[in-house]
Chains A and B, each alone.
Chain A
Amino acid sequence: DQQVKQNSPSLSVQEGRISILNCDYTNSMFDYFLWYKKYPAEGPTFLISISSIKDKNEDGRFTVFLNKSAKHLSLHIVPSQPGDSAVYFCAASVGYGGSQGNLIFGKGTKLSVKP
Chain B
Amino acid sequence: EPEVTQTPSHQVTQMGQEVILRCVPISNHLYFYWYRQILGQKVEFLVSFYNNEISEKSEIFDDQFSVERPDGSNFTLKIRSTKLEDSAMYFCASSDYNTGELFFGEGSRLTVL
Interface residue ranges, A against B (CB under 8 Å): 32, 34, 36, 41-46, 49, 51, 89, 91, 93, 95-98, 100-108
Query: Which chain A residue has the least Cβ–Cβ distance from B104?
Result: A43
By the criterion CB–CB under 8 Å, are B100 and A34 in contact?
Answer: yes
List B contacts of A103 (CB < 8 A): 35, 45, 102
Number of A-B contacts (CB under 8 A): 65
Of the residues A43, A49, A95, A97, contact of B106 by C-beta under 8 Å: A43
Q: How far is it, in angstroms, between the C-alpha of A89 and the C-alpha of B100 when the chains are bound?
A: 15
List B contacts of A89 (CB < 8 A): 42-43
List B contacts of A43 (CB < 8 A): 4, 6, 91, 93, 104-107
Does chain A have a CB within 8 A of B28?
no
By the criterion CB–CB under 8 Å, are A34 and B101 in contact?
Answer: yes
Query: Which chain B residue has the least Cβ–Cβ distance from A6?
Result: B42
Does chain A have a CB within 8 A of B75?
no
Q: How far is it, in angstroms, between the C-alpha of A109 and the C-alpha of B102 when the chains are bound?
A: 19
List A contacts of B105 (CB < 8 A): 43
A71: shortest Cβ distance to chain B, in Å? 18
Q: How far is it, in angstroms, between the C-alpha of A106 and the C-alpha of B43 when the chains are bound?
A: 8
Additional 12 contacts, C-beta under 8 A, given A41-B107, A43-B91: A42-B107, A43-B104, A43-B105, A43-B107, A89-B43, A96-B99, A97-B95, A101-B56, A102-B45, A104-B45, A105-B35, A107-B41
Q: List 8 A-B contacts (CB under 8 A).
A: A34-B102, A91-B43, A95-B100, A100-B95, A102-B45, A102-B58, A103-B35, A105-B43
Query: Which chain B residue has the least Cβ–Cβ distance from A42?
Result: B106
By the criterion CB–CB under 8 Å, are B101 and A44 in contact?
Answer: no
By the criterion CB–CB under 8 Å, are B44 and A105 in contact?
Answer: yes
By the criterion CB–CB under 8 Å, are B100 and A93 in contact?
Answer: yes
Contact bitstring B20-32, A, C-beta under 8 A = 1, else 0: 0000000000010
Query: Which chain B residue has the least Cβ–Cβ distance from A102?
Result: B45
